[in-house]
Structure 1
Amino acid sequence: MKKLLMIAAFGTFMFAGVTGEGHHADHWSYSGNMGPQHWGDIDPKFRMCALGVNQSPIDMDRFVDAKLPKLKITYAGIAKEVVYNGHTIKVTTLGKNEVVIDGKPFMLMQFHFHTPSENKIAGKQFPMEAHFVHKSKDGEYLVIALMFKEGRKNSALQKVLNDLSTEVGKKRMLREMFNPGDFFPRKLDYYRYDGSFTTPPCTEGVRWIVLKNPVEASKEQIAMMHEIMHDNSRPVQPLKARVILK
């Protein structure tokens, strides 16, 4: 059932939406007095949500041309289990799914979704975004962000939807396990920037890779995802002194 996916692409350089998905849904929210503008006050552990200077997501509109190294992705594992955790629809993975950035290997831990997209590209927001969350042995994080646009039915996404429970916290094994790389577009050109988790605790020091080319999902599939997750996107954060490499 294992499948080897070897991907090489040019471009420079990305955890959990990125994510503090371990917290229960009632600890923070996307609206009201527990919404993003209040995250930094909810818990001292979340103070970076208010005080951080390299926060995510962002509107990528300040680009610098860079000679980016090849992006090497070797996914030889599977997407295994799906759960709606009250914040996002998350899929856990199994096996060796590795990305090498800056000469350092990062292992895929999980991927999850946001409707609409959190990051924007030159002001454009997409109807959905997936975050593939990776971690290195020394505890550093990298996220690959993938945008979705309306179009043809997405077969990998449908395998997730087929076994998804709308009950918060109810995990289900995927009957049709698949390689996580099945989501990726053929061309892996990307943008790179330094950012943070997009959910509490908003930890900084996260490498972000945002793929330039979106993939398609049907209007019905995106609507189903949104019906469960609702609007679960943190507003874009100030770019400050950062630039986006392309």
Structure 2
Amino acid sequence: MATRRLSRHLLVSLLFSLPLPVLAASSQWTYQGQSGPEHWAEVGSSLENALCAKGTAQSPIDIDLHHGVHHKANTQNLKIAYMRSSLTMINNGHTIQATPSGKDLLTYKGDNYHLVQFHFHTPSEHQFNHQAYPMEMHLVNQDKNGHLLVVGLMIKEGKENQELAALWKRLPREEGREVHLTGKSDPDLGRLLPGKGTARHVTYQGSLTTPPCTESVQWVVFEQPIELSHQQIERFRTLFPDNHRPTQQLNARLVDEE
């Protein structure tokens, strides 16, 4: 009996002494090196991020306004009713993400979406006519069935953005840190949008631009950029010098202008 207990003990010790395979969690993806965009499909389980390499409707894309926009669509498809609301910001290690607490709504082709969060990239992920902007803002909206629609705003260097000024002064520097904004310091996202949401924009079917690169995401990308000052852009870059995914192949997808 003692020999049997000893053998069992040795077997357990041997199993735990063997080198175990390293399974990278989805949080371990980055924007550089061996865990950067070219390797996202290798991060996590074998199927978790497979679309990052094998997907055929991936984002972002290079939007060619001269040749790539196939036809003009109905300009009444998009109606945005964003407003001022308190929010919570977090440095999630990949970007600054803000979650509003209000009822910011968007209607696209008759379907209603609720704004769930917005975040930022530098340089811009989408390009227009092969040109990137210093930054890009993504406003992620979701309908009652879980379908996603992302509004993309290009950001150019210019005047200080007053709607984002209070938020920008409190950008959380440490990963995992949260900051709460309430009252007059809350940004009015409706006023932030180009033409208050009525400016010219393009639409296409794409994906999330971060792992797991889920497809069937409706994109609405405004052609007219918003402005941040040089100081505001640099303040973000001190936290995230480069957090963009390179452009992906358009393949057989259509890009519509509205």
> What band does the TM-score fall into relative to the shorter chain?
0.7 to 0.9
Shift of 1:25: 8.2
In 1, distance between residues paired with 2:25 and 2:186?
A: 27
Is this contact kept in 2: 1:85–1:169, CA < 8 A? yes
In 2, distance between residues paired with 1:76 and 1:165?
A: 23
One-letter identity of the residue aligned with 1:59: D
CA separation of 1:211/1:79 partners in 2, compared to 1, >3 Å: closer, same or farther? Answer: farther
| Alignment correspondent of 1:33 | 34
| Alignment correspondent of 1:58 | 61
Q: What 5-or-longer segments of structure 2 have no aligned partner?
A: 1-23
Is this contact kept in 2: 1:79–1:91, CA < 8 A? no
The 3-state SS of whatever aligns with 1:233 is coil
TM-score by length of 2: 0.83
In 2, distance between residues paired with 1:111 and 1:195?
A: 17
Is this contact kept in 2: 1:152–1:216, CA < 8 A? yes
> Aligned-residue CA RMSD in angstroms?
1.6
Is this contact kept in 2: 1:25–1:87, CA < 8 A? no
Taking only the aligned residue pairs, the percentage that are identical comes to 39
| Alignment correspondent of 1:9 | none
Is this contact kept in 2: 1:49–1:200, CA < 8 A? yes
Question: Which structure: greater strand fraction?
Answer: 1
| Alignment correspondent of 1:227 | 238
Shift of 1:78: 1.3
Shift of 1:69: 3.6
- Give runs of ≥4 in structure 1 deviating > 6 Å: none
In 1, distance between residues paired with 2:112 and 2:84?
A: 15
- 1:183-198 aligned at under 5 Å gives the runs 183-186=192-195, 187-198=198-209
| Alignment correspondent of 1:236 | 247
One-letter identity of the residue aligned with 1:238: Q
CA separation of 1:140/1:126 partners in 2, compared to 1, >3 Å: closer, same or farther? Answer: same
Is this contact kept in 2: 1:58–1:120, CA < 8 A? yes
Is 1:118 the equivalent of 2:125?
A: yes
In 2, distance between residues paired with 1:30 and 1:205?
A: 23
| Alignment correspondent of 1:211 | 222
**Higher relative contact order (Cα pairs below 8 Å, separated by 6+ residues):** 1
| Alignment correspondent of 1:133 | 140
Residues paired across the two proteins, number: 224
Is this contact kept in 2: 1:66–1:245, CA < 8 A? yes
- 1:44-83 aligned at under 5 Å gives the runs 44-61=47-64, 62-70=68-76, 71-83=78-90
Question: Which structure: greater helix fraction?
Answer: 2
Is this contact kept in 1: 2:84–2:190, CA < 8 A? no
Identify the match of residue 114 of structure 2 among 103, 107, 114. 107
